[in-house]
Amino acid sequence: MNISIFGAGAWGTALAIALADHHDVVLWGRDQQAMQDAAAKRENTLYLPGFPLPDTLRIADDFEQAVAHVTGSAGSAESLLIVASAVAGLRPLAQRLQAYPIPNIVWLCKGFEESSRLLPHQVVHEVLGHGIPHGALSGPSFAQEVAHGMPCALTIASHTPALCDTVVNAVHGRSIRVYSTDDLVGVEVGGAVKNILAIATGVVDGLGLGLNARAALITRGLAEITRLGMALGGRAETFMGLAGVGDLILTCTGDLSRNRRVGLGLAEGKDLDTIVTELGHVAEGVRCAQAVRALAADQGVDMPISNAVAAVLFDGDSPRDMVHRLLSRDPRGEAL
């Protein structure tokens, strides 16, 4: 199968490594010099150092070359276009793709667009319309482990069964297992909000508040994800799956989690700019915290943990203020 991956960050590069041994894969990134270096060194030293790029993986610094790989004479319904940018890069990339007869589009990004509060599929609809088969590939997946060939399970969410089949045919196998669903909203909300909750978990861990507190936060965080997701049209059972509780547990507890590291940095007293600079990667929980807080208010959805994280990030609350705010809430029943 011909596969073009647009976005050469850690996750895009890891997936390209995983797929290159049994598909014809092209990896494109917008930093032309970085792509030329990666092609010469056979390693993405900027975003995924230490992982050799397979000889079969083609590195492209030319956008049209990457598009032609899935739209030209060799392209077909069995070609696959994967966007591996951050959420902020999805709209500009989709705008560039407007000029081409792309067969489909699948994205890996997780979050809400900061300015519009839109989910990725809503951004794609605005730019490319509803006619192109599209979907989100999500689930608990650290790039480094996927690049190592360690086991991983993902979910493809799309309203187009044929696209789900294409993604399963492309990605499923070896060390990656792929499930499918038509609950695109649920999968995207789960992937977005868990990043905010991972920041909260990092704060709790960084303050040394213990495993009991971590477990409580993750559990009540899942309730927040479910409330917002159902308000936006998702199904409750989706949040019990890979794109919900699975991704939440991984991101909140794994040492490779960027969003958890943001929380750890906040607990140490570092300012947000310093934390983001030290990360060197995008932490989507920071970017979508404001959008989720505003969207929850518009929908009348109670999201105290997400709101408390936004207050620490943007309103000047301290991490201990966040914990006090959550613990001092009135008692209530445990139902959603």
Whole-number Å distance between alpha carbons of 325 and 103: 49
CB burial of residue 317 (10 Å; 0-12, 13-18, 19+): middle
Does the structural domain 192-327 have CATH classification 1.10.1040.10? yes
38 φ/ψ angles, rounded to the nearest 5 degrees:
-65, -40
Q: Fold identical between 2-182 and 192-327?
A: no
CA distances from 72 to 64, 66, 67, 133 (A): 10, 10, 8, 18
Contact between 143 and 110 (Cβ < 8 Å): no
pLDDT of residue 269: 96
pLDDT (tens digit per residue) in 86-145? 999 999 999 999 999 999 999 999 999 999 999 999 999 999 999 999 999 999 999 999
Token code pair at residue 225: 């994800």
Ordered by start, the domain boundaries in the chain are 2-182, 192-327
Q: What is the pLDDT of residues 286-336, one digit of tens each?
A: 989 999 999 999 999 999 999 999 999 999 999 999 998 899 988 888 876
Q: What is the pLDDT of residue 174?
A: 84
Please tell me the pTM assigned to this model. 0.95
Give 280's pLDDT tier (boundaries 50, 70, 90).
confident
How many Cα atoms within 13 Å fall on the side-chain side of residue 160?
17
| Residue 73 pLDDT level (bands cut at 50, 70, 90) | low
List pLDDT tens digits, range 22-36.
999 999 999 999 999
Mean of per-residue pLDDT scores for the chain: 95
Q: Which has more confidence, 78 or 211?
A: 211
Phi-psi region of 47 (alpha: psi -120 to 50; beta: other; left: phi over 0): alpha
For residue 252, pLDDT beyond 70: yes
Q: Give pLDDT, residue 75.
A: 44
Of 41, 110, 194, 270, which residue is the catalytic one?
194
- pLDDT the model gives residue 36: 96
Whose tokens are 């943001």? That residue is 262
Which pLDDT belongs to residue 246? 98
17 pLDDT more than 80: yes
Query: Mean pLDDT throughout 228-239?
Result: 98
User: In angstroms, rounded to a whole number, what is the distance separating the alpha carbons of residues 23 and 1?
Assistant: 5
Supply the DSSP symbol for 221.
H
The answer to whether 270 is a known catalytic residue is no
Classify domain 2-182 by CATH number.
3.40.50.720
